A and B are shown apart, each in its own frame.
Chain A
């Protein structure tokens, strides 16, 4: 007997239709959720980008403390901006949030180069000429003393470079170097004079990493001469020492700042960091400093026993970034930068005192100095450049300078992306 059962069949059909409808609703719901997430993500990325533009255009005083505000006084446009001075550069932190989604980016930024002030070489005028000898190349615009540039016969070697002597425009220099930025120097003075509190040991870890979104991790070794080795330190970390700090080749530093009386970087070190000292910095041979790095020697008060502050860079060192010396008192014993043979510096050298370049030193970028020294076994030559290359054209057009230097323009750009989610 065949059963008719119209009701059963209808219920089954209704169930099938219900199943289809519910799957349709679920699919549409998921699609909508995903789309909203994507929309919020786009919105957040837009806001982060706006925040970055605001930070890059901000004046020095603003955003030193974290500031949260609405970009356009609408919904979904809250940003939180902060600018942290980080050595010769600045760190920007941008956070933006919509509902429970948060997007952040931290980056370092620096100034573009002011082409009107930029020079391959700036040698102050001390009423004497500037002499070239051996295989020397100076390429780019220069500011040299009124007495001009000439060739010289030193160590049984005549000048073998380009006939034009300087491949670029020659301008007359002033009696003093264009000054460094006062605000940044004050900031450094504060770093050196304030008593830094922090951990006195590196706690035996092999990796120390700190995000720029968190407070700075400070290590202060105080008056203990410390040698750091077998450790990888990166991010928002500052090392302080009231005496000598030795950095071994087994150490990897990334975006770290070091402040000490004297710093010794052992042979074979690789990393990118900013090292600041008051008395001396010694970089031994075969070290490699990636961009952006900085070696800065700053004297804000006269030492008890007067001696010459010095940055010495060993053989075959490759350095990318800024090397500078500064003496607030402008004492007669001027700070000295010495480069050994085959040193390559890509970036800027600002020597308020003396710059002694040895054979085969190559500076791809710019040199500002009060005086050149060249020493052989018997004699010291002043304002002689021998077997050295200064080439401003070899510097990348994307190179950014620190706001500390006089050649920096007002416009700022992102130097390095540090962290993002």
Chain B
């Protein structure tokens, strides 16, 4: 009975074909994974964007503040370093340098601006 089902001949791949196919598929998958991880790694993280938005917000506040001093504040998992110094050769102007660090103390974003000392 079983022999009647196998009346037609099934053409199978040779062992060489199978091995080559397997090698190709492994290489292709390997390259694809490499590309995928690279794209993921190199694309911008939401963390960086958030840090930049935070720095912009801090700068805006500093522009409307009358007392800007060098200080370090922690906002939403970020440590923001604010460095204030007088702008060279210009009275009434200060240079503000903001740097955001993450929990691992790695620099995520920075922002520099010249603002008036008394808005």
> A17 near B13 (CB under 8 angstroms)?
no
- A5 at interface, CB cutoff 8 A: yes
> B11 near A1 (CB under 8 angstroms)?
yes
Given contacts A4-B12, A5-B13, A53-B116, contact A17 B28 (CB under 8 A): yes
- B10 at interface, CB cutoff 8 A: yes
Q: How many residues of B contact A (CB 8 A)?
A: 38
> B32 near A21 (CB under 8 angstroms)?
yes
> B113 near A49 (CB under 8 angstroms)?
yes
- B43 at interface, CB cutoff 8 A: yes
Given contacts A17-B29, A31-B43, contact A58 B90 (CB under 8 A): yes
> B17 near A6 (CB under 8 angstroms)?
yes
Closest to A76 in B: B112
> A57 near B29 (CB under 8 angstroms)?
no
Given contacts A25-B35, A32-B43, A74-B112, contact A9 B28 (CB under 8 A): no
* 30 A–B contacts from the bound complex (CB under 8 Å): A1-B8, A1-B9, A2-B10, A3-B11, A4-B17, A6-B18, A6-B21, A7-B17, A7-B20, A10-B24, A13-B25, A14-B24, A18-B32, A20-B32, A21-B32, A25-B39, A28-B43, A31-B43, A32-B43, A35-B44, A42-B52, A42-B56, A46-B59, A53-B93, A53-B115, A53-B116, A57-B90, A71-B112, A72-B97, A72-B112
Q: How many residues of A contact B (CB 8 A)?
A: 36
Please report whether the interface of chain A is mostly helix, strand, loop or mixed according to DSSP: helix
Q: Which residues of B contact A (CB under 8 A)?
A: 8-13, 17-18, 20-21, 24-25, 28-29, 31-32, 35-36, 39, 42-44, 52, 56, 59, 87, 90-93, 95, 97, 111-116
> A50 near B114 (CB under 8 angstroms)?
yes
Q: How far is the CA of A57 from the CA of B86 in the complex (A)?
A: 13
> B90 near A54 (CB under 8 angstroms)?
yes
